[in-house]
Structure 1
Amino acid sequence: MDKLTVDVVCVGSGVGGCAAAATAAHAGASVLLVEKASLVGGVTAYSGGQVWIPGTRQQAELGITDTVEDGIAYLEELAGGWGDPERTANLVRAAKEALEYFEAEHGFAARVIKDLPDYYYPHFPHAAADGRYVEPEEIDLETLGELGPLLRRSPIGSSGGGLGKDGVDGSVGGRFVQMGEGLAAHFLHAAQRAGVEIWTRSPARELVIEDGRVTGVVVSRDGEDVVVAARKGVVLATGGYDWNPDLVHRFEGVLDAHGSAAPAGIEGDHLVMAAPAGAAISYQPASRNVMQVGFPTGIIDEDGHDLHSSYRAVNPHEIIVNRSGRRFANESFYPALSAAMQTLDGADHSLPNWPCWLVFDAAYLEVGAARAPSLELAVSGDTIAEVAEAAGIDPVALEETVTRYNAMCAEGRDSEWGRGEQPWSMELFTDSETTADHNPSLGPISRPPFYAARMSRVQFGIGSAGLSVNKDAQVTTYAGDPIEGLYAVGNSAGRDDLGAALQSGVANMRGLAYGYLAGRHAASR
């Protein structure tokens, strides 16, 4: 078996792995980054590319008043007691420091996503109306040299999804990239510039453990196993476990109709490899997870999976209902739907809101065609009752629900669930804002034919479970002791630091911050 010795090995090429690699290499360590796929960029490349960080220079330059302390307070408000205040504060402060470090030392360029509020603005005192999301400036893939053609490309293009509103290149496969592709490219470039060696098609198989300390990793390369000794540490940045059905069932409580928007290879490798080292698993209740609802896209990845996309019912002429024919949450705001999906009816031990269906009419196909699920996934009929019967939904209740919804549309307000009144959703997914006399998310379901499409649960590389880490991103045991030589960053690190705090941009922030902390700590050992 071949052998190689370096200071630090980083496993995974998303923002967390690349941030750790670039930081350690810039501090003088010899670093190898291994990626199991033939493409680089990981889950980061498929993300929206936004990084949630309060109190940045970018905010100040736009005249937006904010502080790191206010951002920390906001996350603690969202956590509802499930988080660790000390680690929350450490993480947010590290994120700001990491942003400044990568700008100064690695040429990273970021800008504020203007006019985009926090998820829960204005409902929480420390929520911000604007300025906490930064995204990468566009980057020319030619700067990556031979890695440029290997960057994982998002199925929706480099400015899809609405997050790169000031961007210029929305084509799939364009030379200049931004959003998730841009974020991945910037940090890959940082790793390259720092002298990191990068291997693709090189899955990490197992950790080398000696006397309770992680001293390296076994990597498969060109059909042969290579023992890579790591003098200073191994950083696990492998994402979540979306494509491992056993782990999805165990930690997310999902049995059927499951899909993912994450790329191939996100299979929980970090959990499998760290278990023999005595690593603890940090777990948040599935009712507080970030799983969304959506539909298969028909795009097949390299492992044969049908990639899914999330869906938010923000257009008029559509609602989401359960088998009883009832709406059960604000369809335009995924945290509300996600929590409602996990509601357990203690009387009959059922999940009353799962499965669920998107119900819409012919008028919807005119205004929401770009986001509509394939009609091959839907049943149709000339009446609401016909559609309900075909889908397996209570027909009488669905007719009542549609009648009640249509009446609220005429009034211009969703008095049941407040749809269209969440500023984050409306700013991100519609072209017009909600005002006192106008709600762009409401419109009657009244023009036949009518449709119902059963929805899937959709993951994004973020799980309810991950490896327990301390403030330096060191993996810990159940006793709370750090495992020498082992780190976990990004979505491989458990979310108990922030607890129940659901907030867009936090996943990329955790990758950036923990990658920076892990790389710095490992290099100093």
Structure 2
Amino acid sequence: MHSEYDLICVGSGIGGCAAAAAAADAGARTLVLERTDVVGGVTAVSGGQIWIPGNRWAAALGIADTAEDGARYIDAVAGGHNDPARTRALLGAADEALDLFTARGLELRVLRGLPDYYHPDVAHSTAEGRYLEPVPLPADALGGWAGRLRRTAVWSMGGDGGGTTPAAELVTGQALAGYFLRAALGAGAQVMTGARVTGLRSRDGAVTGVVLDDGREIAARLGVVLATGAYDRNRELVHRFEGVLDDHGTGSPPGITGDHLGMAAALGASIRALPAARNTVQVGFPTGEPDEDGGPRYRTHWVVHPHEIIVNAQGARFADESFYPAINAALHHLDGASQRLPNWPAWLVYDHDLAERGVVQVDPGRVVSAPSVEELARRAGIDAAGLAATVAGYNAACARGRDDAFGRGERPWTLWMSRLAGSGTGPNPTLGPIVRPPFHAARLARVQAGLGSAGLEVDTCARVLRWSGGPIPGLWAVGNATARDDMGFSAQSGTSNLRGMVQGYRAGRSAVS
């Protein structure tokens, strides 16, 4: 490692590596700093999807679509929380970014049959074509870095069918992280692990380098790109920006602690937050196992299965359990009269048919069981009459084959995901009655996935903006470190990887221009 570079990228996920590749490809001496001992960040534990309207792979399949159609779709579902100009700037730059990264070896393919979240209800949505996933990447394509990429058990969503990752092959998020790491290394960027950045150097208001936790300073002639992710592992920031705090966990790797907010705020950076009810927080459980930080490991309960429902303390269902944005929004519902959240805490209630399948990955000590629904409610602290009535109503819906209360399992996106996961069979694979004792209840936790409601405000070149207006010279931020006013929330999976790729590309090119 040298004492001076042209550009320093803090974080080794898609955003940091994209920025490093874009700058190094243009001749800049570039360094990627990763605070943990393995690279890939949140990208490596993601589903690996990139959502790109009007992409070249869909066009090759004869699927008609444009970036403008995608932007109009985002305008419709963002609830006024996107800046239309920034939406169009982001989507409009995707093809240019892809030119560089495909030339550097990135291979993507369309996830056939996977529709937009809100298709067909929202204009400009599509039945397929916008979701892309990485083509499986041989691990040895990374050379000596193969053993330093974050590796976890993942599930393939593509045309090869579901399955766990073979040791010699990278799929989904690992493959995506691998492609962008390879692009950065191939362009000439250097990568250093075990290097936590704790501060920014500046001179006359311009960022000139970084300070590491061991006191070392590294100069950056052109500046610094913050690609540090969100703040899942910082309880103070979660409490400040996400609302519901108790029973909170994350599926993100260590290091996602919001360092970018403090470092940039010291230079007058603008921090912008969207309503937490529109975030893509999911529900799940602590598994009873420790994670890499020694705390409890959490898993999302991301696909609804037959023989289960989600209820509040009154024993009532309150959302379509098959669509996680609906669950998260309902959890934030505030009763103005009592100033309480009536749908939190919440429980997963299920019967023994589901328990035997082993799909509820939860610490056994968190589960209560009983021979009857009424006794289960009493043991769990749920209203017994309310739960009994809810289970009876849900079972009647299963007999009809339709959930008239919330439309569970009727969204095309939900059906695609449920069938992929093998949830059930029949026209609506999410429905199945709760009838076989013993019955079980597990109190749910909220599990973040690397996305925060707040982030640094940036312009279309990913330059960090001041509260007082105008960019901070020499400072860029990309991906989940930035405010989501370009795409809004609850819009689509795959938009975070899109933002990381495009913002990283724009930051790297902006730095060297």
Shared fold by TM > 0.5?
yes
Matched, 1:414 2:427: no
Q: 1: CA distance between counterparts of 2:457 and 2:382? A: 42
- The letter of the residue matching 1:205 is T
1:311 is displaced (CA, Å) by 1.2
1:374 is displaced (CA, Å) by 4.7
- The letter of the residue matching 1:233 is G
Aligned to 2:314: 324
Aligned to 1:130: 128
- The letter of the residue matching 1:251 is F
- The letter of the residue matching 2:260 is H
Aligned to 1:188: 181
1:297 is displaced (CA, Å) by 3.0
Matched, 1:214 2:212: no
1:302 is displaced (CA, Å) by 2.4
Match of 1:171 among 149, 165, 169: 165
Q: 2: CA distance between counterparts of 1:305 and 1:493? A: 27
1:472 is displaced (CA, Å) by 0.2
Q: 1: CA distance between counterparts of 2:215 and 2:403? A: 59
Deviates more, 1:272-281 or 1:301-310: 301-310
- Superposition map of 1:76-95 within 5 A: 76-95=75-94
Match of 1:429 among 418, 441, 460: 418
- Superposition map of 1:342-361 within 5 A: 342-361=332-351
- The letter of the residue matching 2:397 is M
Aligned to 2:486: 497
1:62 is displaced (CA, Å) by 1.3
- The letter of the residue matching 2:6 is D
3-state SS, counterpart of residue 304 of structure 1: coil
> Is the contact made by 2:284 and 2:444 (CA closer than 8 Å) also made in structure 1?
yes
What is the TM-score when the length of structure 2 is the normalising length? Answer: 0.96
Matched, 1:466 2:466: no
1:166 is displaced (CA, Å) by 2.2
> Is the contact made by 2:10 and 2:197 (CA closer than 8 Å) also made in structure 1?
yes
Q: 2: CA distance between counterparts of 1:58 and 1:300? A: 41
- Deviation string, structure 1 residues 277-332 (Cα, Å, up to 9, x no partner): 11110110111111111112344332113231211452111000000100000000
Aligned to 1:116: 114
The 1:489/1:167 distance shift into structure 2, 3 A limit, reads farther
- The letter of the residue matching 2:132 is V
Q: 2: CA distance between counterparts of 1:207 and 1:341? A: 38
3-state SS, counterpart of residue 150 of structure 2: coil
The 1:484/1:127 distance shift into structure 2, 3 A limit, reads same
Q: 1: CA distance between counterparts of 2:208 and 2:179? A: 29
> Is the contact made by 1:76 and 1:501 (CA closer than 8 Å) also made in structure 2?
no
Aligned to 1:5: 4
CA RMSD of aligned residues (A): 1.9
1:82 is displaced (CA, Å) by 1.6
The 1:234/1:242 distance shift into structure 2, 3 A limit, reads same
> Is the contact made by 1:234 and 1:485 (CA closer than 8 Å) also made in structure 2?
yes
The 1:432/1:109 distance shift into structure 2, 3 A limit, reads closer
The 1:383/1:434 distance shift into structure 2, 3 A limit, reads closer
- Count of matched residue pairs: 513
The 1:272/1:406 distance shift into structure 2, 3 A limit, reads same
Aligned to 2:149: 151
3-state SS, counterpart of residue 215 of structure 2: strand
1:112 is displaced (CA, Å) by 0.8
> Is the contact made by 2:374 and 2:388 (CA closer than 8 Å) also made in structure 1?
yes
- The letter of the residue matching 1:509 is L
Q: 1: CA distance between counterparts of 2:410 and 2:160? A: 24
The 1:191/1:431 distance shift into structure 2, 3 A limit, reads closer
Deviates more, 1:286-295 or 1:162-171: 162-171
Aligned to 2:471: 482
1:139 is displaced (CA, Å) by 1.2
Aligned to 1:270: 260
Q: 2: CA distance between counterparts of 1:430 and 1:291? A: 22
The 1:226/1:431 distance shift into structure 2, 3 A limit, reads closer
- Deviation string, structure 1 residues 373-417 (Cα, Å, up to 9, x no partner): 354321000000111011100000000000111111111100000
Q: 2: CA distance between counterparts of 1:430 and 1:299? A: 28
> Is the contact made by 2:299 and 2:361 (CA closer than 8 Å) also made in structure 1?
no
1:439 is displaced (CA, Å) by 1.7
- The letter of the residue matching 1:285 is P
- The letter of the residue matching 1:310 is T
> Is the contact made by 2:244 and 2:332 (CA closer than 8 Å) also made in structure 1?
no
- Superposition map of 1:451-462 within 5 A: 451-462=440-451
Aligned to 2:301: 311
Matched, 1:237 2:227: yes
> Is the contact made by 1:46 and 1:180 (CA closer than 8 Å) also made in structure 2?
yes
Q: 2: CA distance between counterparts of 1:219 and 1:339? A: 39
1:176 is displaced (CA, Å) by 0.9
> Is the contact made by 1:110 and 1:136 (CA closer than 8 Å) also made in structure 2?
yes
3-state SS, counterpart of residue 430 of structure 1: helix
Identity across matched positions, percent: 52
1:438 is displaced (CA, Å) by 2.9
> Is the contact made by 1:365 and 1:372 (CA closer than 8 Å) also made in structure 2?
no
- The letter of the residue matching 1:81 is G
Deviates more, 1:40-49 or 1:71-80: 71-80
Aligned to 2:251: 261
Residue segments in structure 1 that go unaligned for 5+ positions in a row: none
> Is the contact made by 1:167 and 1:178 (CA closer than 8 Å) also made in structure 2?
no
Q: 1: CA distance between counterparts of 2:352 and 2:345? A: 23
Residue segments in structure 2 that go unaligned for 5+ positions in a row: none
Aligned to 2:215: 225
> Is the contact made by 1:329 and 1:337 (CA closer than 8 Å) also made in structure 2?
yes
Q: 2: CA distance between counterparts of 1:149 and 1:121? A: 40
> Is the contact made by 2:348 and 2:444 (CA closer than 8 Å) also made in structure 1?
yes
Aligned to 1:56: 55
Q: 2: CA distance between counterparts of 1:439 and 1:147? A: 44
Q: 2: CA distance between counterparts of 1:178 and 1:360? A: 32
- The letter of the residue matching 1:329 is A
Q: 2: CA distance between counterparts of 1:439 and 1:273? A: 49
1:210 is displaced (CA, Å) by 1.1
Q: 1: CA distance between counterparts of 2:362 and 2:416? A: 22
Deviates more, 1:124-133 or 1:496-505: 496-505
> Is the contact made by 2:285 and 2:361 (CA closer than 8 Å) also made in structure 1?
no
- Deviation string, structure 1 residues 104-127 (Cα, Å, up to 9, x no partner): 2x1111111111111111110111
3-state SS, counterpart of residue 296 of structure 1: strand
Q: 1: CA distance between counterparts of 2:158 and 2:174? A: 11
